[in-house]
Chains A and B, each alone.
Chain A
Amino acid sequence: MRGSLVFYHPTTLQEAIGLLGEHGEEAKVVAGSTALTILMRQRLIAPSVLVSIGAIPGLDGIEERDGAIRIGAMVRHRDVELSELVRARVPVLAETFGVVANVRVRNAATVGGVLAESDYASDPPAVFVALDAEIEVRGPGGERTIPARDFFVAFYETALEPNEIVTAIRIPIPVTGSGTAYHKFVSRSSEDRPCVGVAALVHLASDGTCADLRVAVGAAAETPQRFPNVEALAVGQTLTPELTGRIGDAYADAIDTLDDMRGSAWYRTEMVRVWVGRAIETATDAAADRSAPG
């Protein structure tokens, strides 16, 4: 019965981790609660203990440190979207958080929440994977760092161990001369989650060839999909439409796409093909703009 729900507001991470340990399976972390409330109301989960991490100091900052942007787990989507620092250093991140849902959801949903939820149809995960972000977590055994590409394990499943809490994410600032893009493709209403979302980073060498390409596809499969062997096709090459097309085809072939109300597996495969190409093109244009003299 919902009547027996207990709500804790610990003020230290230690305390929060302790509460999670004490109540085990019965306990859930609450951040913005945009996902949690829906799951509880639909009676898909029925925790008896909720541990809010909103009162713990130090989880809500955005800062630049050691060549990376570090964003605390309790930072709201809307704050990432509007952050001057993020816009200047990793604009694609601000853009991506800006296309999530609507402003009401963005004002509540947190960075830790979107990570821990690991919903296949979220936008930010693909960008985190493409940018080689690292997730800082804290648990009973202390702190550790998990690369984004290892963090998302399956549908609603992450590499978090029981009683571990996401505390922050570090996104390396892309090197000068690189361009980034995120394309969210919605197949129904504009406020829908993505049918597919593609994040790309292109680093152009001074001769205009591609020095580095990273492409991650979200919402097409259980977890964000990235294929270094396909990315490698671009290195040292000029990113011609023919080449981006081949990379799009390779991603389309490699991903075992899923089927839902936003599109069949066949349609998703076709959308991966199209949007991988488009994301690379946009990122290439951005890289060219940035490296252009003046």
Chain B
Amino acid sequence: MIAEPRHIVPPGMLDANLRVRGRVPYAIDVVLPGMLHAKLLRSPYAHARIVSVDATRARALPGVHAVLTGPDLAARDDIFPYFGPIFRDQAVLAIDKVRFVGDPVAAVAAIDIDVAQAALDLINVEYDELPAVFNVDEALEPGAPIVHDEPRRLGQTFADIIVRAEADTNVCNHFKLRKGDVERGFAEADHVFEDVFTSPPVQHVPMETHNCVATIEAGIIRVTTATQMPFAVRASLAEIFKVSQAKVRVTTPTLGGGYGAKTYTKVEPVAALLAQATGRPVKIHLTREEEFVTITKHGVKIQMKTGVTKDGRIVARKSTCLFNTGAYADIGPRLIKNGGYATGGPHYIPNVWVDSYAVYTNLPPAGAFRGYGVSQAAWAYETQMDMIAAKLGWDALEFRMKNLLEDGQSVMTGEDMFDAHFKELLTTATARIGWDPAEEPRRNGSKVRAKGFACIIKGTVTPSTSTAAAKLNEDGSLQILSSAVEMGQGAETALSVLAAEGLDLELGQVSISRPDTDVTPYDQGTSSSRNTHSMGTAVGMAVADIRRQLLALAAEQLEVDPADLELVAGRVQARGAPSTSIAYGDLVRASRSGNLLANSVYASKGGLDPETGQGIGSVHWHQAAAAVEVEVDLATGKIDLLRYHAGVYAGRIVNPVQAELQTEGNIAFGLGQALFEEMVFDGGQLQNGNLGDYMIASIEDMPQEISLGILEHLESNDIHGIGETSLPPAMPAIGNAVFRATGVRITDLPITPEKVLRGLRARAVEESAE
């Protein structure tokens, strides 16, 4: 019997001190001899045919080393100038057409940014403007301008996605879910509700914008880039340059935030093509304005129809989700699956029907964003849950409690729920803010206070693969080779803890590598709140292998049966006889293998049936609840957050400090999106693409009182992702509280003071008419 491993509780992020002192290098800090700087010329039109691009004058400007244009790239047959994780629909530089304001059409590499910028002004592009579409309804109308009229270039697709693109339409992909018999469900229902909910596009606003440095040396394409997915970038560069993946090397230092923006290929291809053209290292570093049009969160319109019985059970739900995926698909075709099935919510509903669409428009591309489609879905179902309770005069909490999933009930994708903690999370959350269904909103002058809550379910990417390697050195220290990306979330600390525990080492005796595709083994990517679970499991497996090797070696050296040995503080010792022991380092030396090596593969299983969306949606289900007390100024519509409780299920909490920080980060993201975040477009032109005009939450916007409930159940022996989980309930919880305070129901995010005031005025008119 192996004793329960001791749990290490780290003091927070291991390199926090270095980070706050600016001693941690980021990709933007890379400076190479002879390095050039790249700038992109971007389209001023939302949709236009490129008639001609003339870069003659730019090329002649002193200090300019290369200018690339779309037509240049299209004319070459040594490259394949397209990328995109599912469809290869995005040209490195626009070929034939531009599809959004900001679409790159030409690239310059010059001795400095100013020269590169000046060269852009010397490039003449002649456009022939085309009619454009910006919202999903327009885009789906018959006769609408078609954003991608070329045949779909499908790449090697993901195991978990089914592509159902409709040619000659703007439908980029369609996900279907059919559980039970939805029409029979509605027939059984005593009440049926149908509502529309919308969420606007928003920006991730990572502090570090997209950037990379590319070189081509001795036939090896080398890129140091701020990406959450080094292996996806490698695959994409190999495809573009038509070389084997072994000829591409991607390294990734720590990121200055990702939030999904840095998944898949972004600026790497253009930098590598410029490096190839110039024979020099080329750096590209997007401005904040460029970041705003590089990738966004999907704006979504969800039509949701829900049937309930008079005793409060949900019997059927049908939703149509229109995700505005912008001009290029990015990961939209897969995100609509997660966002689509998520509309089933954390409730047991026997009959569910979902049609979820990714729709092309002439807006900047939308892709992964912390919450991955689930925020938009949760905004719809948790708002509607409250609307139903209000209309039928039910206690909103009791209505939830009747329907929240329990172990053994089938989730929307058909598999049985296990390790369910929704009820516990919501009970705690509502108790912490003193929820009482009988409590009336409290009025003080023009201000009124009330409470609201929400509870959500989120899947994590399934199936998915993480691999790791472990090396135990001759001094007994442990190195983990992993491609987990550190982006401030504490990946390195969490993996250090898990590795150290496996061999009973101190944290200081363990190192975790940074991703380097030449050296570190494959990982699918640091996204989807999966790293601590997925890479953590892989690391645990590799370390367990080292442990077996140590036990076998020690059994030989100490002449003790392996079953009677234990690992204690860097030594293998006979159980109950600490004097019979040997240090790991001595075992490594005795083995004469230089180091002990182990490799591991963790591949989760699952996937959904293409026709029914039934199968294994997620390897386990992430769960969260939020409860909030707001104060609304009835004279202005302005909302203040007084108290906020965030509850999330963690399975095991590996790093308490960072689990709390991730959860607080989700509150900040959530309240910003609830109250004011929104990318505003006019004719496809972004109106607030900088941080003076686009607002994110500041520390002063945080709720006056925050409580966190990070739920641990060690007996489940599982680690649940918490990086995104507590974000989606924020918006509906706040909206529900605002409704209770004011009687104004907002169904289109954000809940601005102006919308609330208009709602209050409309109510006043209605009341006086009565």
Q: Which A positions have Cβ atoms within 8 angstroms of B?
A: 1-3, 38, 41-42, 102, 185, 187-192, 261, 263-264, 267, 270-271, 274
Q: How far is the CA of A38 from the CA of B701 in the complex (A)?
A: 24
Let me know if B680 and A261 touch, CB within 8 A.
Answer: yes
Which residues of A have CB within 8 Å of B675?
A: 188
Which residues of A have CB within 8 Å of B690?
A: 38, 42
Q: How far is the CA of A267 from the CA of B755 in the complex (A)?
A: 9
Which stretch in B19-27, B111-119, B466-474, B532-540 binds the other chain? B111-119
Asked whether B638 is an interface residue with its Cβ less than 8 Å from the other chain, the reply is: yes
Let me know if A187 and B753 touch, CB within 8 A.
Answer: yes
Convert B681-713 into 0s and 1s, putting 1 for each residue whose CB lies closer than 8 angstroms to a CB of A.
000000110101101111011000000000000
**Can you give 11 A-B contacts (C-beta < 8 A)?**
A2-B114, A38-B692, A41-B287, A185-B636, A185-B638, A187-B754, A189-B672, A189-B697, A261-B680, A267-B753, A267-B754
Which residues of A have CB within 8 Å of B753?
A: 187, 263, 267
Let me know if B698 and A270 touch, CB within 8 A.
Answer: no
B residues 542-579 near A (Cβ < 8 Å) are none
Q: How far is the CA of A170 from the CA of B257 in the complex (A)?
A: 46
Which residue of chain B is the closest to A264 with respect to CB atoms? Answer: B754
Q: How far is the CA of A187 from the CA of B638 in the complex (A)?
A: 7
Asked whether B635 is an interface residue with its Cβ less than 8 Å from the other chain, the reply is: yes
Question: Which of B115, B636, B676, B687 is close to A188, meaning CB atoms less than 8 Å apart?
Answer: B676
Q: How far is the CA of A261 from the CA of B118 in the complex (A)?
A: 32
Which residue of chain A is the closest to B752 with respect to CB atoms? Answer: A187
Asked whether B140 is an interface residue with its Cβ less than 8 Å from the other chain, the reply is: no
Count of CB-CB pairs between chains A and B under 8 Å:
56
Using known A-B contacts A188-B675, A188-B695, A191-B698, determine if residue A271 contacts B680 with beta carbons closer than 8 Å: no
Let me know if B701 and A3 touch, CB within 8 A.
Answer: no
Asked whether B289 is an interface residue with its Cβ less than 8 Å from the other chain, the reply is: yes
Asked whether B582 is an interface residue with its Cβ less than 8 Å from the other chain, the reply is: no
Which residues of A have CB within 8 Å of B698?
A: 102, 189-191
Which residue of chain A is the closest to B687 with respect to CB atoms? Answer: A261
Closest 3 CB pairs of A and B: A190-B700, A188-B676, A189-B695
Let me know if A189 and B754 touch, CB within 8 A.
Answer: no
Q: How far is the CA of A261 from the CA of B687 in the complex (A)?
A: 9
Q: How far is the CA of A261 from the CA of B695 in the complex (A)?
A: 10
Which residues of A have CB within 8 Å of B696?
A: 189
Which residue of chain B is the closest to A3 with respect to CB atoms? Answer: B114
Using known A-B contacts A1-B118, A2-B117, A263-B754, determine if residue A189 contacts B688 with beta carbons closer than 8 Å: no
Q: How far is the CA of A3 from the CA of B287 in the complex (A)?
A: 19
Asked whether B125 is an interface residue with its Cβ less than 8 Å from the other chain, the reply is: no
Which residues of B have CB within 8 Å of A38?
A: 690, 692
CB distance from A151 to the nearest CB of B (A): 24
CB distance from A155 to the nearest CB of B (A): 16
Which residue of chain A is the closest to B61 with respect to CB atoms? Answer: A1
B residues 637-683 near A (Cβ < 8 Å) are 638, 672, 675-676, 680
Which residue of chain A is the closest to B690 with respect to CB atoms? Answer: A42
Q: How far is the CA of A153 from the CA of B478 in the complex (A)?
A: 69
Which residue of chain A is the closest to B700 with respect to CB atoms? Answer: A190
Which residues of A have CB within 8 Å of B695?
A: 188-189, 191-192
Using known A-B contacts A188-B675, A264-B754, determine if residue A274 contacts B697 with beta carbons closer than 8 Å: no
Question: Which of B687, B701, B754 is close to A190, meaning CB atoms less than 8 Å apart?
Answer: B701
Which residue of chain A is the closest to B696 with respect to CB atoms? Answer: A189
Using known A-B contacts A3-B115, A187-B754, A189-B696, determine if residue A274 contacts B636 with beta carbons closer than 8 Å: yes
Asked whether B757 is an interface residue with its Cβ less than 8 Å from the other chain, the reply is: yes
Q: How far is the CA of A192 from the CA of B118 in the complex (A)?
A: 33
Q: How far is the CA of A188 from the CA of B752 in the complex (A)?
A: 8
Q: How far is the CA of A274 from the CA of B633 in the complex (A)?
A: 11
